[in-house]
Structure 1
Amino acid sequence: MSDATQPILKAEHLGITFGGLKAVSNFNMTINKGELIGLIGPNGAGKTTVFNLLTGVYKPTEGEFWLDGTRMNGKKTYQVVRAGIARTFQNIRLFKQLTVEENVLVAFDESFTYHMGSAIFRTPGFWKQENEMHEKAIDLLRIFNLEGLATTQAANLPYGQQRKLEIARALATGMKLLLLDEPAAGMNPTETEDLLHCINTIRDRFGIAILLIEHDMSLVMSVCQRIQVLDYGRTIASGTPEEIANNPQVISAYLGSDNNDDADGDSTTKAEPEPSIAKTLTEGAR
């Protein structure tokens, strides 16, 4: 039984080295139940690498982390999901040939308890559980205004709705911690505003902890309670949105063009400065 006073996520001195490159070093973070924390930084700062460490894609070469008091080092990805960490990706990864509802039902896999024989012979127990899962799926889709598209093939949804379906599917795993990797990427301002409302609804309704990577600083500043900033794989600042917006080191990290090679391992070229983000930060600092 989990202790209500202990953090949902606790990472201590977490890091990983690829060859001679320290992609992430001495990463520390605590997230409590119901908190929404932002993880930001210039391109190649190591943000997605942190997500890969927390979800078992990479094994840390230093440090430890715990989910609700359970040590997670060395867990495989499916074990991490079962323990209670779910994520979305920068590039949408839906089952495009399945319907909207079927994408959510896939995530309910662990909730189905009937046996193969019940499924083959369509017993009353089978239909009872199928109906229960259907209602749960529709309830989740309703949060994102997708219930009317339940029978639509996922590939046929507009981009913004595909993003929301991916979040709905993550919620269906019954997680304790939701990792959102650039959920607003590719969205127009109206879709981003709608997403902001959905994220707030998720936090308020389910009380789950959320860790958010996002380049849309207006969204980050609006929704996050605390923000942690990475640069060159190290934390350079942590605090409230107001504190981050007024932090000279953070502003310098975004405005500076002399960035390290991509710490996420996606590029060997130097990252370009991100003026739109820096502009938001500097405007917030005035």
Structure 2
Amino acid sequence: MAEQPILRAEHLGITFGGLRAVDDFNMTINKGELVGLIGPNGAGKTTVFNLLTGVYKPTDGEFWLDGEKMNGKKTYQVVRAGIARTFQNIRLFKQMTVEENVLVAFNESFSYHMGGAIFRTPRFWREEREMHRKAIDLLRIFKLEGLAQTQAANLPYGAQRKLEIARALATGMKLLLLDEPAAGMNPTETEDLLECINTIRDRFGIAILLIEHDMSLVMNVCQRIQVLDYGRTIASGLPEEIAHNPKVISAYLGSDEDGDDAGETADGGDATAATDGKEEHDA
């Protein structure tokens, strides 16, 4: 019997007034799989993330996480079920330390009661030590353990990005949604992030859905790629298939043709070159 996918979305759609932002979106992601979701500006990528995390309620369709139907669940219920995400704009608790940002995400793991916290019982201290150990172990993956007591606001930009991912991992999720994690990073930081993403997938075996405008990162890290344009899927396949897909190239370049001529850029490149450096401004 085939293993149940971590994510299964069927015919998802949402309409804002007269605007059809996402239409007939279908996707499956298996355990440990890393899938990219790309498309031109305004294609609906971030809207898909908002549907999967309970920020928006789908007008049509359904989706399941590890067999559990997720339609209608609130955002905090989605997180508890096992979906965590990062954002285009970093959202850390800037006035808290690096370690405290991770400990906040461990909140559901604490089993002692208020009385234990007030009276500082042995059980309280045991769990405090265990949470501290787990937080440092997680920070070590991102080479942030030496900054555990640093205020998050004082971290370099690339380190803040990594801390946001570490905090998401601390929720113990089954599916991690990364919304443009390399945005604003220099090439060295991007290369470091690529290494971290591969480590996460290999060590934790979690499924990852990635939105990213840095096509070199997408092509290097993703096992499959799905492409949106005007809220609809126009292509899905392996990275090398997507890189040379005429419809994908046409969507990014704004060409009216889907024929052979659309398969090349003006300088003879492919979709990897055509899409490199695009910024995301989804609804």
User: TM-score of the superposition, structure 1-length normalised?
Assistant: 0.90
> Which amino acid counterpart does residue 50 of structure 2 have in structure 1?
N
Asked if 1:161 corresponds to 2:159, the answer is yes
Alignment of 1:32 with 2:30, yes or no, is: yes
**Match for residue 4 of structure 2?**
6
Contact 2:244 2:270 in 1 (8 A): no
Output the CA distance in 2 between the equivalents of 1:21 and 1:279. Answer: 33
1:123 to 121, 124, 136: 121
**Aligned ranges for residues 64-79 of structure 1 at < 5 Å?**
64-79=62-77
Q: Percent identity?
A: 87
**What letter matches 1:182 in structure 2?**
E
Q: Deviations over 1:86-134 (max 9, x none)?
A: 0000000000000000000000000001111111111111000000000
Q: Give CA deviations for 1:127-184 in whole Å, capped at 9, x if unaligned.
A: 0000000000000000000000000000000000000000000000000000000000
In 2, distance between residues paired with 1:109 and 1:282? 41
Give distance in 1, aligned partners of 2:9 and 2:207: 14
- Would the alpha carbon gap of residues 279 and 179 (structure 1) be closer, same or farther in structure 2, given more than 3 Å must change? farther
Distance in 2, matches of 1:118 and 1:282, equals 56
One of 76, 86, 89 as aligned partner of 2:87: 89
**Cα offset, 1:246, TM superposition:** 1.1
* Conservation of the 8 A alpha-carbon contact between 2:198 and 2:221: yes
> What residue identity is the alignment partner of 1:34?
G
SS in 1 for 2:50: helix
1:97-116 mapped onto 2 (5 Å cutoff) = 97-116=95-114
Number of the residue aligned with 2:192: 194
Q: State the distance in 1 between where 2:75 and 2:66 align.
A: 17
Normalised to the residue count of structure 2, the TM-score between the two structures is: 0.91
User: What do residues 61-101 of structure 1 show as CA deviations (whole Å, max 9, x unaligned)?
Assistant: 00000000000000000000000000000000000000000
User: Where in structure 1 do 4 or more consecutive aligned residues deviate above 4 Å?
Assistant: none
**Alignment-derived partner of residue 271 in structure 2:** 281
Contact 1:217 1:280 in 2 (8 A): no
Post-superposition CA distance 1:8-58 (Å, at most 9, x none): 000000000000100000000000000000000000000000000000000
Aligned residue for 2:203?
A: 205
Match of 1:268 in 2: none
The aligned residue for residue 227 of structure 2 is: 229
Instruction: Say if 1:218 and 1:280, in contact at 8 Å, map to a contact too.
Output: no
Q: Are residues 257 and 187 of structure 1, via their aligned partners in 2, closer, same or farther at CA, if it must alter by over 3 Å?
A: farther
The one-letter code matched in structure 2 to 1:281 is A
CA distance in 2, matches of 1:69, 1:94: 31
Structure 2 SS opposite 1:194: helix
CA RMSD of aligned residues (A): 1.6
The corresponding residue for 1:241 is: 239
Whether the 8 Å contact between 2:9 and 2:27 is mirrored in structure 1 is yes
CA distance in 1, matches of 2:173, 2:89: 21
